[in-house]
Amino acid sequence: METFIQVLIDGLLSGMVYALVAAGLCLIWGVMDIINFAHGEYLMIAMYVSYWLGFLANIDPVISVVASGVFIFIIGVLTYKLIIRFTIGRPGLVALLATFGLAMFLKNFCMNRFTPNFRILSGTWLGDKTFQLGGLIFPVPQLAAGLLALIVVGIIYLIISTTKFGWAVQATAMDKEAAELMGINTEKIYVLIFGIGGACVGIAGGIMPTYLAVHPEVGSMFGLIAFVCVAMGGFGSIPGALLAGLLVGVVEALAGFYIAPVFKYIAVFALYLAVVFLRPKGIFGW
Amino acid sequence: MVSREKKLKIKDISWLTLVLLLSVLPLIPGFTANSFRMHIMILIMLYASMAQAWNIIGGYCGQVSFGHSVFFGIGAYGAGMAVVTYGGTPWLGIIIGMILAACVAVIISYPCFKLSGHYFAIATFAIVEIFNRGFLVWDWIGGALGLDYPIIEEGLKNFMWHNTKTPYYYLALLIFVLIFSIVRWLEGHRFGYYMRAVRDGQETAESLGVNSTAIKLTAMALSASMAALCGSFFVQYNLRVDPPMVMSLDTSMKFVLVTILGGSGTLAGPLLGAAVLVPLQEYTRAFWGGLGGGVDLIIFGLLIIIIVVKQPAGMIGILQYIQKAFKKTKLQEVK
Amino acid sequence: MAILEVHNVTMKFGELVACNSISFNVEEGAIVGLIGPNGAGKTTLFNCISGLYKPSGGNIFFNGEEITGLKPYEIARKGAVRTFQVVRPLKDMTVFDNVLVGAFLYSRENRIAFEKAYECLRLCNLEHLKDKIAGELTIGGKKRLEMARALATNPKLLMLDEVMAGLTTTEMKASVEVIQRLRDHGMTIMIIEHVMEGIMPIADKVIVLDGGVKIAEDVPASIVKNEKVIEAYLGTKYSKRYREKKVERTDGGAYT
């Protein structure tokens, strides 16, 4: 029983981070109906930012996470300005393939500059520390990442659902033309949403080097899992993405522990198929 | 109506000349045995065939599948199993692989077709990942180690040649001609019109008596079995297969990208896409590979962004644009 | 003999009752008009007949066979074909190919289908536009294309949903002529029109819907004199008394 709860906790912790990665994608998907294929690569770059700041300037990820968030915010804005802007109003496949090209570019750029080697950031404040509670072990880095993820997702949700900016975002998502007629600068909303979506994944990537090795391929699987979480949660629903992220984390941990590690992802993707075959628009979709 | 048929004939003749040209071209270096150039010609044929297979369901029927690497892999494993595990000729394996791919396509597509837009795309990603990992742990088919071909007697019976690439090239050409002829035939027949009707408006098509589910499933099955055929060619040429090599998102993307960049939903698009992209990829790899890993793919990634964003109709769109511009200048000259 | 029988068809969307227990028959070889103000439930009724919606209640018979809840393509194959009010051209295909898709229901054979498609293009004055991409037509052209495409299937019952709305007077006249010619060839035609003038001179029978209920079914000459119909169309201008009655009736309609 204790092992089961321990596995469950591990799953929930990684699920929170998935939720944060997915929340960024979810915003973009919900507002612009675009799948950003380079989302996983954003994460990878954020991890490199955090790694290099830690390795070269000795700045701990806990602090440099702000820099990672800002950096990916800028990359998100640039992506919008240079690529996505031209794909608005065209079939969804166009943006998907263009961002696939971007993902290919970013991944191989890092491969070329930083080599495919795995890099581990050692001696961080949080690294390798654990915290015990009644026989259960909580790895501190994961716990911090999970809590940070929850806080950021909560803030994003509050911004979208209560602020004036959030209402403008919602209006743009529902009907771009009508929103424009009401005086909303939808172009600005799109830029900001791409930036904020990037910042979410930037924050997630910023904290992750405390417990995960950095390499050019690290983002791909996170990107795919983020797609799955967003689609499972339902079109642009942040609570949906949070729930789906947690669910994916738990299922992954359980399958990995009780069946075999290879089955982790089989279980995750099978879960996605099961959910959408029953509810074609996801858990919170309509 | 007469003029329409005549036009088609002219089109067919130009096609025949092109194919003839392609089959003669390799003969020139064929004797000097420049295997790199030959390799590129083979890859062009293979990618054009793969793209055309995808074009059936993705271009003509409008169902953008990112799952074709699964069918490609099934075809590859069909041939590979026949040779490596059972020590027979690959031909029976190829046929079984094609049939199996069609069956798998129907079974997984039936529920997926109920999904729309991104949900469908992500479902096909998920299926690729499931198959990829499933094959990795499936010992019967070789698991993560994959299948390595033994050196056996060369010839058509074993679909294997050791010192020359020319027979591979002609077999690739044969597959290419087969798939292109199928698509060419479809273009002019009821099924082809129905596919495009489903792509352009499913409800409209249904209101005109088209069973859209049946059309999509049939097109998917056909497309999958052709993809499997390409897969079995790949393994016979490569002489090795393991799951990540064939069943990966990157392989799936090749199907989609070559078609879209060439011009999806057109007969010539896949060939154009392959004829431009393959040499580009291979030569950048050959020339810039020394600058460290990934330079070729950096350039490739940039190229994809530029073409997708700037030229949505693909290279065929560029050709049409040039043709129009040419016609305009001609008209002005006449005036 | 009635080619189409509609018995107590009801269509609900949650609380909203779009069609409330509507019954009528369409005789073979007749032109039947279906009219009513905006939101009366005309298109919803068409969607139920053509299989796009599965009715919440009631039965529909075509040629003596029950077709309630069949798939749209099954109903089309039986010979009941409809057009869409909001035009839906197969927009990346040429005009000819659009019509050809319909014609393939008439015959699987290329030669016969091609001929049928040409015939319908001529009939709907689209011949000169046949190689144009359907998405690039004007709205009038798209409306004619809707009709040509449905015609090419050689239906027994042709259901036209506002094919005349938005057309110029001359275009409307041409359409009316085409419809009459089709009837003379033995086709049964059901027409939804928002405007009465287009349909009154040619219809054998007119059914009037209002607020999801059938309020009248009669020959055109009597319909124009029918008090309920006049009220339905001009009600707001006329009596206060009528308005109260309407509120009562729609309320009652929603809960029974």
- Predicted confidence at residue C249, as pLDDT, reads 47
- Predicted confidence at residue A248, as pLDDT, reads 94
Residues C60 and C187 in one domain: yes
Flag if B126 and A107 touch (Cβ within 8 Å): no
Give chain C's domain count. Answer: 2
ipTM: 0.89
- Predicted confidence at residue B274, as pLDDT, reads 92
Q: What is the mean pLDDT of chain B?
A: 86
Residue C72 with chain B: CB contacts under 8 Å? 203, 206-207
Residues C150 and C161 in one domain: no
Measured N-to-C along each axis, helices B90-112 and B68-80 cross at an angle, to the nearest 10 degrees, of 160
Residue type, B152: I
> What is the set of domains in chain A, with CATH numbers?
6-117+142-278 (1.10.3470)
Q: What is the DSSP letter of C133?
A: B
Q: Is the pLDDT of residue C251 over 50?
A: no
Instruction: Please name the residue of chain A whose CA is at the shortest distance from the CA of residue B314.
Output: A94
Q: Cβ of B212 under 8 Å from any chain C Cβ?
A: yes
Residue A29 with chain B: CB contacts under 8 Å? 118
HEC states along A145-161? HHHHHHHHHHHHHHHHH
- Predicted confidence at residue B8, as pLDDT, reads 56
Average pLDDT of the segment spanning B150-159? 82
Q: B133 CA to chain A: closest CA distance, Å? A: 7
Instruction: Please name the residue of chain B whose CA is at the shortest distance from the CA of residue C100.
Output: B193
Tell me which range, A281-285, B15-19, B190-194, C158-162, is most confidently predicted by mean pLDDT: B190-194
| Distance linking the first and last C-alpha atoms of chain C | 32
| Residues of chain C contacting B, Cβ within 8 Å | 50, 52, 71-73, 76-77, 81-82, 84, 88-93, 97, 100-102, 104-105, 108, 110, 113-114, 118, 149-150, 153
Residues C179 and C230 in one domain: yes
Residues C227 and C137 in one domain: no
Name the residue range of residue C46's domain: 2-79+157-255
Q: Cβ of B206 under 8 Å from any chain C Cβ?
A: yes
Residue type, C182: L
Q: Is the pLDDT of residue A196 over 70?
A: yes
- Predicted confidence at residue C253, as pLDDT, reads 36
* Residue B56 bridge partners (DSSP): none
Residues C21 and C61 in one domain: yes
Q: Is the pLDDT of residue C231 over 80?
A: no
Which chains share 3+ C-beta pairs under 8 angstroms with A?
Answer: B
Nearest CB among C71, C84, C101 relative to B193 is that of C101
Q: Cβ of B126 under 8 Å from any chain A Cβ?
A: yes
Q: B154 CA to chain C: closest CA distance, Å? A: 46
Q: What is the mean pLDDT of chain A?
A: 89
Which chains share 3+ C-beta pairs under 8 angstroms with B?
Answer: A, C
Instruction: Please name the residue of chain B whose CA is at the shortest distance from the CA of residue A104.
Output: B301
Flag if B204 and C88 touch (Cβ within 8 Å): yes
Residues C74 and C162 in one domain: yes
Interface test with A, best of B54, B118, B120 (most A CBs within 10 A): B118
Give the pLDDT band (50/70/90) at residue C194.
confident
Residue C76 with chain B: CB contacts under 8 Å? 206-209
Task: DSSP for chain A, please give it.
Answer: -HHHHHHHHHHHHHHHHHHHHHHHHHHHHHHH----TTHHHHHHHHHHHHHHHHHHS---HHHHHHHHHHHHHHHHHHHHHHTGGGGTTS-HHHHHHHHHHHHHHHHHHHHHHH-S--B---S-SSTT-EEEETTEEEEHHHHHHHHHHHHHHHHHHHHHHHSHHHHHHHHHHH-HHHHHHTT--HHHHHHHHHHHHHHHHHHHHHHGGGTS-B-TTHHHHHHHHHHHHHHHH-TT-HHHHHHHHHHHHHHHHHHHHHT-TTHHHHHHHHHHHHHHHHSTT-SS--
Residues C15 and C141 in one domain: no
- Predicted confidence at residue C255, as pLDDT, reads 35
Q: How far apart are alpha carbons A230 and A212 in whole angstroms?
A: 23
Residues C146 and C179 in one domain: no
Flag if B293 and A280 touch (Cβ within 8 Å): no
Flag if B193 and C97 touch (Cβ within 8 Å): yes
C abuts A (3+ Cβ pairs < 8 Å): no
A abuts B (3+ Cβ pairs < 8 Å): yes
pLDDT in tens, B207-216: 999 999 999 9
Residue C108 with chain B: CB contacts under 8 Å? 190
Q: Is the pLDDT of residue C83 over 60?
A: yes
Last residue of a domain, one of C154, C180, C214: C154
Q: Is the pLDDT of residue B52 over 70?
A: yes
pLDDT in tens, B283-311: 888 777 667 667 888 888 898 898 888 88
Give the pLDDT band (50/70/90) at residue B226.
very high
Lowest mean pLDDT among B16-30, B112-126, B129-143: B16-30
Instruction: Count chain B–chain C contacts defined by CB atoms under 8 A.
Output: 76
Contacts with C, B 265-294, CB within 8 Å? 265
- Predicted confidence at residue B116, as pLDDT, reads 83
CB B119 within 8 A of CB A280: yes
Last residue of a domain, one of C154, C183, C213: C154
Q: Is the pLDDT of residue A176 over 50?
A: yes
Q: What is the mean pLDDT of chain C?
A: 84
Last residue of a domain, one of C111, C130, C154: C154
Task: Classify residue A124 as left (phi > 0), alpha (psi -120 to 50) or beta.
Answer: beta
pLDDT in tens, B56-94: 999 999 999 999 999 999 999 999 999 988 888 899 999
Average pLDDT of the segment spanning C220-238? 73
Q: Is the pLDDT of residue B20 over 80?
A: no
Residue % of chain A over a pLDDT of 90: 40
Q: How far apart are alpha carbons C70 and C64 in whole angstroms?
A: 15
Give the pLDDT band (50/70/90) at residue B35.
confident
Q: Is the pLDDT of residue A45 over 80?
A: yes
- Predicted confidence at residue B10, as pLDDT, reads 62
Nearest CB among C93, C102, C118 relative to B200 is that of C93
Residue A137 vs residue B193, higher pLDDT = B193
Residues in contact with C113: Cβ distance below 8 Å, sequence separation at least 6, in sequence order: B190, C100, C103, C104, C106, C107
Flag if B209 and C73 touch (Cβ within 8 Å): yes
Residue C118 with chain B: CB contacts under 8 Å? 1
What Å distances lie between residue C179 and B178, C175, C226, C228, CA to CA?
47, 6, 26, 28
Nearest CB among A115, A262, A276 relative to B119 is that of A276
Give the pLDDT band (50/70/90) at residue C156.
very high
Residues C48 and C92 in one domain: no
Residues C161 and C53 in one domain: yes
Q: Cβ of B123 under 8 Å from any chain A Cβ?
A: yes
pLDDT in tens, C97-135: 999 999 999 989 889 999 999 999 998 888 898 898 998
CB C29 within 8 A of CB C188: yes
Residues C249 and C190 in one domain: yes
Q: B205 CA to chain C: closest CA distance, Å? A: 8
Q: Cβ of B185 under 8 Å from any chain C Cβ?
A: no
* Residue C57 bridge partners (DSSP): C10
What is the pTM (predicted TM-score) of this model?
0.89
Residue-range domain boundaries for chain B: 18-249
Q: Is the pLDDT of residue B36 over 70?
A: yes
Instruction: Please name the residue of chain B whose CA is at the shortest distance from the CA of residue A103.
Output: B301
Interface test with C, best of B190, B200, B207 (most C CBs within 10 A): B207
Nearest CB among B189, B190, B200 relative to C90 is that of B200
Task: DSSP for B80-147, please give it.
Answer: HIIIIIT-S-HHHHHHHHHHHHHHHHHHHHHHHTTS-HHHHHHHHHHHHHHHHHHHHT-GGGTGGG-E
- Predicted confidence at residue A90, as pLDDT, reads 83
